[in-house]
Amino acid sequence: MVSRFLVVLSLVALALAGVADNMIEGYEAEGVHWALLVAGSNGWYNYRHQADICHAYQIMHRNGIPDERIVVMMYDDLAENPENPTPGVVINHYNGSDVYKGVVKDYIKEDVTPENFLKILQGDEAGMKGIGSGKVLKSGPNDHVFVNFADHGAPGIIAFPSSELQARDLNKAISAMYNSKQYSKMVFYIEACESGSMFADLLPKNINVYATTAANPEESSYACYYDDMLGTYLGDVYSVNWMEDTDKEDISTTTLQKQFGIVKEETNTSHVMLYGDVSMGDMTLAEFQAGKSTVVKPQRVLPSVPYDAVSSPDVKLSILYRKLAKATTTGEKLKYQSLIKQEEQLRSLVQSTVKNIATLAADGADQVSRILTSRHSLYSFDCYEPVMHHFSANCFPLHKVEHALRHLYALVNMCEEKISPATILSAIDKVCLQ
């Protein structure tokens, strides 16, 4: 009897030792789920990005991911904005519910930066000490991570309120996390113009990352749901499509691949793209958008309404023209006519500036034409990154002049045409500084 008891104890000890061998100290053996939700813009014109992210928070929170494992970065200038006719409320659908209530705001205002984002993503607690909530992803080798970003974008970058995150830096961070066993599986949903360029030919297919983007590397994403009372767009087509799908699905059985197919079909304004490990598409939404043991009933299906979709670069002008059409007094009409004229003049200035840079940098009219009309894929990052930053610093700050983002393709083309960075930088100086 005693010997049998000792045998049982020995077997238990061996089993526990086996478990211990497969564990990394400080991490739960079965793994947990984490979410990092980021709105990179600010201002009433960009209302939709923060509304998207607030909605995403409500999904994660409702589905059982505890707040200590959800990190939210948003400028937080909507709820109490002077232009908000319903103070304290943010919506993401016509007559929709308040998606702002209860949102954890870990990092707001000047703390919303690409540097902080990368530290939070990689679990750098020391680097975030004394900043915002200080919360970071403490994900381990058994954990699932969901990352959702909404803002403006351009070739090889996504925008933050005062700077930009570069594609190579993001993918370097992802690879470092993989090598450090900081996740088991990770999913990215990115809403931005040309967002495909953040992963195309950069994200490996064998590091357990599944990434979808609102647009391919060459096109705009689209805003939707214009609200007359608020005077702005409430959401983005790709974002509201995936979130409203999650809201109505049984997420315990609906797969990532099924959602991708639905969103790709419903987002008829741009080409929704998929990168990375496509085999992860068989995993369920609940494995990333919910707590591990949570079974969530589908939510009320919102009434179908027109998208009223407009390309992201045209949002500001669209809003101004709508407000002009609604204006009833001479003063209001003159105000919006003036603002429209200013915006159109700025667009013309950006376009002529880029053309002048190309003319100085290129070798002849044929090359200038190619630079301004073609779309090369971005491979020459060592040329493009310093040139892009120089353009932003000396011509048009990309985080303030959204339309300038739409012309960065010309800088890509110059680099891919093998014009030297020195030549392009010199052309920028001559056009913008002299």
Pairing of strands 153-154, 157-159: antiparallel
Can 55 be counted among the known catalytic residues? no
Q: Are 130 and 376 in contact (CB under 8 A)?
A: no
Closest listed residue to residue 243, CA positions, set 302, 202, 305? 302
Residue 6: how many CB atoms within 10 A of its CB? 10
Q: Which residue has the tokens 């930053």?
A: 389
The SS3 of residue 147 is strand
Q: Which residue has the tokens 């089993």?
A: 15
Q: Which residue has the tokens 């297919």?
A: 205
Q: Are 49 and 33 in contact (CB under 8 A)?
A: no
Active-site residue among 54, 193, 224, 395?
193
Active-site residue among 33, 49, 152, 407?
152
Can 224 be counted among the known catalytic residues? no
326's tokens:
């609604």
Q: Are 298 and 247 in contact (CB under 8 A)?
A: yes
DSSP per-residue string spanning 238-262: HHHHHHHHHHHS-TTT-BHHHHHHH
Residue 425: how many CB atoms within 10 A of its CB? 18
Q: Point out the residues that are catalytic.
A: 152, 193
